Structure 1
């Protein structure tokens, strides 16, 4: 009996110590937009959109102008951001299934941001889109989240919460692994309400929220007031702009909840898009904007992967500043671990901490001597890219911009600092650079 009581006391002490250790940690909210274009926010130069709340994160934080997502398409991008590992290394080279029980998923042995924070005493929540596993073993509760509400597939209608785009129509809304029905509830508002409720409930202890929006991914379903507001904007930009404004309004609601509870200065907020805007038929063949960059969603050209990226922690990180150094979605895990003081997972990470760069405008990119890598798919026809310094090499290109000339290249080399729009293929002029970057790619994924 004494042994049992002693073990109980030790367990209680460890639990108490873990709680005390976590108590002084900042909260973390990771806001992930879905198919938001490279320059589609006021703080990135757009003059025809309404994004005051997204812009406020830049006002009170650091805006990155050479920020790259982990992939030009949904599932691999999310896998990279959540694990700090190149998506191929994390086991997600392609989009995962949008059908319950379907194939493709983030392997259960991969360690997510949620698992990292949960081990440090945080309460964790997934709110919104998942799209990296649709079986009980690969849904959010099995990947480190204490609470989950959202859809498991790639997209849903925002009012019926049905997936209409492949095979039989099927309902896709789940709370903690159980199907729930909220017919008629506008999904962006449902997300904001859920986030605000979670923040309210957990305001006295550290929390991590993965706020994975399904906006402005198709179907474009901006609210009536915003459709009216943008009625003079040419189609399909008007539809996209209305949806972005509806999205921004909900981001504002979450920020307002933090302010009301006096949590803003103790909360790190990350904002990024998962990939470039869509030019698919279901997205009206466009609406978004890559600005000066070539390509869009699905493309390894800059417009598919060079995207909005912001981090805000008022009072602890610089405010209203811009960093032009290279950064990558896989960098969030080591960056957040350093900022919060939590222990990194004992696994190979491809991301590198940005903390020095964020705090010091003159600091080098964490990738100054460490190339960036992308790959979608497997085999000889896989699309891949390497960025080393100013040089970027793409294999098996796909240009998805609306006015693309449907030109494809087996190899495309650009100097990004001299030609950010990737207008000129320099592969023939610099075979030595092609050879060097190809070797970097081959060696990286041979590990």
Structure 2
């Protein structure tokens, strides 16, 4: 879809059933970065201080089987387009070395949807979906953008160190800006607060894309001291300090909404992009997926199952839980329905979660789903899950485990390969994956 066609499509996306712009809810998506599946108290962590994230999650509906992608760029592309990462054109992490790499301009994003419906749109934080002008946030539906374009930065110098030459990476609306020595999570709160102050009278959409707790672990001194004094061991202590540092900044953002009187009528989506990292620069770990096996890069549950919730104080009951399978591509059609925006969902892989939000007892809207990361793939059908060429950092799999079948109801930790016991189920899920691959 070229830019002209995107504009025409956007003009067709009109708010329906809405009398005044001020009646429409605001929307904020908070996306954390490399946060483990249980790494906040309300998901099971017992050694972390996360009161603000817990309050946010518990103020709405918490999902227990919610999925992103195994790495950053694909997960974020799926969230923003309502499609699988493959169909969104971002099957793997976007390289910082190529202007050609990134989410194709023709993809229609959630920001473009909201903008066409009369919302003011903002991106604050991490992008990692392309650095060329036509792939930056302002070219993908965001009226305002502040943050870094590639995968991660040092939070004080705002330099990218991890691929190619060291370089400064901090931009506002495509123009390089310099805040040497200022802590990036604080800059995010500052920029978001200014945007909220300037747009409190009209509906807005904000994509608040955090780069925490992604490495480098740079938690506040008070939290580093706290976890040291609690005897939390390395590298969990460094990761935990960064989690609590992030939690405080989320609390500051929520406080700003309260001060401006915007919290009640603001829909807030919260999720991590993928599981915790075991990369060398992440000190080989620190995060936790609890009973779930695997971490970032893996298609075992610990790599793709993430904490996620949605809250809208004006409409949704607090403290509710949904156990159905859901994916981050579902947010686009869900938010469209919640905000009264009429869109054509026929080309989307995501499904509106409103039936599940309204009724905790209905079945998942996704009876089947598939993922791919390089040679590693997974196909899920209800409680059955088949992994092809399974991968976990630091583990070796024997040839007999090249097809790894589990039943998540009986074995949520994916410990036991039952492929030899259920050969027909292996065939069925292999066929499902191949069908999905042909369509992606």
- Normalising by the residue count of structure 2, what TM-score does the alignment of the two structures yield? 0.93
- Indicate the SS of the match to 1:252: helix
2:376 is aligned to: 383
1:151 is aligned to: 148
In structure 1, C-alpha distance between the alignment counterparts of 2:116 and 2:21, rounded to whole Å: 10
Deviation at 1:20, TM superposition (A): 6.5
Note if 1:130 corresponds to 2:127. Answer: yes
1:356-371 matched pairs, under 5 angstroms: 356-367=355-366, 369=367, 371=368
Assess if the C-alpha contact under 8 Å between 2:406 and 2:416 holds in 1.
yes
Runs of 4 or more, structure 1, over 4 Å off, are 15-21
Assess if the C-alpha contact under 8 Å between 2:83 and 2:329 holds in 1.
yes
Note if 1:211 corresponds to 2:204. Answer: no
In structure 1, C-alpha distance between the alignment counterparts of 2:52 and 2:198, rounded to whole Å: 23
In structure 2, C-alpha distance between the alignment counterparts of 1:326 and 1:181, rounded to whole Å: 42
Deviation at 1:149, TM superposition (A): 0.4
In structure 2, C-alpha distance between the alignment counterparts of 1:290 and 1:41, rounded to whole Å: 11
2:4 is aligned to: none
Assess if the C-alpha contact under 8 Å between 2:38 and 2:289 holds in 1.
yes
- Indicate the SS of the match to 1:230: helix
1:12 is aligned to: none
CA gap of 1:91–1:254, structure 2 versus 1, over 3 A, is same
- Normalising by the residue count of structure 1, what TM-score does the alignment of the two structures yield? 0.92
Deviation at 1:21, TM superposition (A): 5.1
Assess if the C-alpha contact under 8 Å between 2:18 and 2:340 holds in 1.
no
Assess if the C-alpha contact under 8 Å between 1:58 and 1:321 holds in 2.
no
2:243 is aligned to: 244
1:343-362 matched pairs, under 5 angstroms: 343-345=342-344, 348-362=347-361
Assess if the C-alpha contact under 8 Å between 1:312 and 1:319 holds in 2.
yes
Match of 1:434 among 426, 430, 434: 426
In structure 1, C-alpha distance between the alignment counterparts of 2:254 and 2:267, rounded to whole Å: 11
Assess if the C-alpha contact under 8 Å between 1:33 and 1:216 holds in 2.
yes
Match of 1:411 among 396, 403, 416: 403
2:182 is aligned to: 185
Assess if the C-alpha contact under 8 Å between 2:370 and 2:433 holds in 1.
yes
Deviation at 1:17, TM superposition (A): 11
In structure 2, C-alpha distance between the alignment counterparts of 1:413 and 1:270, rounded to whole Å: 32
1:348-394 superposed Cα distances (whole Å, 9 cap, x missing partner): 10011111211222122211x3x1121123xxxx2211111010111
- Indicate the SS of the match to 2:131: coil
In structure 2, C-alpha distance between the alignment counterparts of 1:16 and 1:436, rounded to whole Å: 42
- Indicate the SS of the match to 1:264: coil
- Indicate the SS of the match to 1:364: coil
In structure 2, C-alpha distance between the alignment counterparts of 1:129 and 1:282, rounded to whole Å: 18
Gaps of 5+ in 1: 1-14
CA gap of 1:435–1:17, structure 2 versus 1, over 3 A, is closer
Assess if the C-alpha contact under 8 Å between 2:119 and 2:205 holds in 1.
yes
Alignment RMSD: 1.9
1:86 is aligned to: 84
| Residue correspondences, number | 423
In structure 2, C-alpha distance between the alignment counterparts of 1:61 and 1:37, rounded to whole Å: 20
Match of 1:115 among 112, 115, 120: 112
1:98 is aligned to: 96
In structure 1, C-alpha distance between the alignment counterparts of 2:187 and 2:252, rounded to whole Å: 11
- Indicate the SS of the match to 1:407: coil
1:299-310 matched pairs, under 5 angstroms: 299-310=298-309
Assess if the C-alpha contact under 8 Å between 2:100 and 2:132 holds in 1.
no
- Indicate the SS of the match to 2:133: coil
Deviation at 1:345, TM superposition (A): 4.9
Assess if the C-alpha contact under 8 Å between 2:122 and 2:205 holds in 1.
yes
Deviation at 1:79, TM superposition (A): 0.5
